[in-house]
Amino acid sequence: MADQRIEVLARRRAEMMSVISAAALEQFSQHGLRGTSTQAIADRAGISKQQLHYYIESKDALYESLLRQTMQHWRQIGLNAEDGELEPAQAIARLVRRKLEFTFDHPQISRLFSYEVMSGGVVIRKILAEVNGGVTAATQIIRGWVTHGKIEAIEPIFLLFHIWALTQHYADYEPQVRFFMALPADMPLDRERISAEVTRFIIRGMGLRLPEHATGLISAGPTSHPTS
């Protein structure tokens, strides 16, 4: 009975932390760390401020935790060893699609990161240093393509910068995208059109061609989704 009670309590805590994390993500992505109060998070989560502090160490710790989760999600959907076994056009097409799909499904995560960086990136710097291995591995894959003449000479980190910027644009600047595409708020963005355009733009910039009929190159492949 004791074990069962512990299991129930653990499940309830996990469920409440999921609610709190969702509420915090919404507030932080809109107002940043300094512009968000614990009262606002508690209100959004539907609990009292006292209850909130029972579950979290502090607002700053919750914010850092969400940023760490963000970086882990992006590391999982980034350019990996499996992609390195593919031809560059296919690997990059899959990467772009994964990143865009994640952006479309979880725009607040992208906005949280962007808000942190534009605020000076004080919290994210330590986290970036801890997850830098994934970016290093990705640049090595790209550098290998250059060395073997598979793509035009390009600085790997610049290529990654371009991909990150283009794919996150549709979350960070969604109001602008909707205005110039004349899309009302209740109409979803055309994922297929955006994915195809971004993919072609990047691959052509690498000195490669993506045949119009090669839809298989733009398939998403395995994706990763937030667990909290």
Residues 28, 16: Cα–Cα separation, whole Å: 18
Please give the structure tokens belonging to residue 111.
């906005």
Question: Do residues 87 and 162 share a domain?
Answer: yes
Residues 167, 99: Cα–Cα separation, whole Å: 6
Which domain CATH number covers 134? 1.10.357.10
Q: Using 50, 70 and 90 to split pLDDT, how confident is the model at 226?
A: low
| Structural domain includes residue 7 | yes
The pLDDT mean for the chain works out to 88
| Structural domain includes residue 184 | yes
Question: Do residues 50 and 109 share a domain?
Answer: no
Question: Do residues 187 and 113 share a domain?
Answer: yes
Question: Do residues 26 and 134 share a domain?
Answer: no
Q: Supply the range of the domain harboring residue 129.
A: 78-218
Question: Do residues 39 and 87 share a domain?
Answer: no
| Structural domain includes residue 140 | yes
| Structural domain includes residue 224 | no
- For the chain, the maximum distance between any two Cα atoms, rounded to a whole number of angstroms, is 65
Question: Do residues 52 and 82 share a domain?
Answer: no
Question: Do residues 87 and 191 share a domain?
Answer: yes
Question: Do residues 84 and 49 share a domain?
Answer: no
| Structural domain includes residue 11 | yes
Q: Using 50, 70 and 90 to split pLDDT, how confident is the model at 209?
A: confident
pLDDT at 213: 45
Question: Do residues 113 and 188 share a domain?
Answer: yes
28 pLDDT higher than 90: yes
pLDDT at 82: 87
Structural domains counted in the chain? 2
| Structural domain includes residue 45 | yes
| Structural domain includes residue 68 | no
pLDDT at 116: 94
Question: Do residues 50 and 114 share a domain?
Answer: no
222 pLDDT higher than 60: no
216 pLDDT higher than 50: no
Q: Which of 69, 56, 55 is nearest to 25 (CA)?
A: 69
pLDDT at 173: 93
Question: Do residues 32 and 85 share a domain?
Answer: no
* Single pTM value for the model: 0.82
Question: Do residues 28 and 104 share a domain?
Answer: no
Per-residue pLDDT tens digits for 66-94: 999 999 888 888 898 888 889 999 999 99
Candidate from 19-28, 201-210, 218-227 with smallest mean pLDDT: 218-227
223 pLDDT higher than 60: no
Average pLDDT over residues 162-178: 94
Average pLDDT over residues 160-174: 94
Which domain CATH number covers 50? 1.10.10.60
Helix locations, the chain, DSSP H: 2-31, 38-45, 49-55, 59-77, 81-84, 88-105, 107-118, 124-130, 132-147, 156-172, 174-180, 191-205
Residues 4, 10: Cα–Cα separation, whole Å: 10
133 pLDDT higher than 70: yes
Q: Which of 45, 53, 10, 51 is nearest to 25 (CA)?
A: 45
pLDDT at 129: 85
Q: Using 50, 70 and 90 to split pLDDT, how confident is the model at 212?
A: low
pLDDT at 110: 93
| Structural domain includes residue 70 | no
